Amino acid sequence: MFAIQHLKGNTYCINAPTNIGLYKLNEKDCILIDACYPGPITDELLETLEYHHLHVHAILNTHGHIDHFGSISALREKYHSIVAAAPFENNFIEYPELYASLLVPFIPFSLNKNSYLPKGTKVEVLLEPPQCTIQDVHFDIVSLPGHTQNHVGIATPDNVLFVGDAFTGEPHTERIKIYYHQNISDAIDSMRFLLKTNYDLYVPSHGNPLTAAKDIVEKNIQSINSTIDHIYKMLSKRPLSTDEIVSAVNTQFNIPEKFVEYYIAQSCIMSMLSFLENTQKIQIVFHNGTLKFAV
C-alpha cells in the first residue's frame, strides 16, 4: 500500500512510483492529479484508496505517458470518475497503443508484447489554461510543453503545483542518467518559466516536493546540457550513426540491456540530436546508405 502525504490544506500526495496528487473535496470524495502504471502498481493504488475509504470523483492528467495514465481506465471502471487531460495528450488515454507507437513505429517485438498497455478510456474534459473547474473547485492549468507536446502543470486551490515531468526532483536527479524531453528547447523554456511563478509547493511526478524550484531546475538543465555536450564531443571526432551514438551513451551510463530501456534511451538521444541539428550545431550526412550525424 502507498503512503499518503499531507502537503497543504486539502492537498495530499500519494507516494506511488509516480507521485499522484490528491485533492480532498470532503472526507470521502477526491480528485486525483495523474495516475500510475497499469498492472500491480494500479492494484496497489486501488488498495490504498480503498483502505482510506476514498472515492475518486475525477482524474486530471498532466500528459500522455503510461506512468501517468496507466491506472485511469481501472479507476474509471471502479469509480465512474470524470477523466480530464490536455488536448493532444488525451489521445494516449483514449488509444494507449499510440504510446507504444512512440517507442517503436511498428508492431512491438514479441518481448513483453503490449503487456504494459492498459485499456483505452474516454476523456470527457479537455484541460486548457488558465483554469479548469470541477465540483466548483478551480484548478490552475499551466502550459509546460517540452517533455511532451502539450504537457500541463496542475495547481490545486492550496497553491500547490503538480508539475508532472516538466522537471525531475531529488533523489532522482542523481539517479536518472538521461532525461527524456520530446522538445529540449521548449522543455528548458518551460522550466525557466516555472522560476517566475509563485506557488507554495512544486511537486514533480518523480522526486520530493519543493518550496522553491530554482536549484533543482538548474540541476535538470545542467544535466541535459552536459549529455548534449558529451554527444557533441563524440561527433566532433568523427560522424556517427544513431546505433553508434546510442551504444556509446548506453555503455557510458550503464543503461540496462533491455528492450524497453533501449528504445527509451534511443528516444532521449534522438531528441538531443534533433536539438543539435535544429540549432545548426550538427548536420545529417549519408555514408554508404547509413545516416550519420556530423559536426
- Nearer residue to Zn ion within complex by CB, 65 or 76: 65
> What cell does 222 get?
545542467
Which residues contact Zn ion by CB under 5 A?
Answer: 65, 165
- Nearer residue to Zn ion within complex by CB, 44 or 165: 165
CB 63 within 8 A of CB 164: yes
Could you tell me which of 246, 258, 266, 191 has the C-alpha nearest to residue 223? Answer: 191
> What cell does 117 get?
498497455
CB of 69 to Zn ion, least distance (A): 10
| H, E, C per residue of 109-151 | CCCCCCCCCCCCCCCCEECCCCEEEECCEEEEEEECCCCCCCC
Strand order in the sheet with 290-294: 240-241, 290-294, 283-287
- Nearer residue to Zn ion within complex by CB, 80 or 175: 175
Half-sphere exposure of residue 226: CA atoms within 13 angstroms, side-chain side: 10
Q: For residues 120 and 237, what is the distance between their CA atoms, to the nearest angstrom?
A: 46
- Nearer residue to Zn ion within complex by CB, 84 or 282: 84
CB 149 within 8 A of CB 99: no
- Nearer residue to Zn ion within complex by CB, 65 or 292: 65
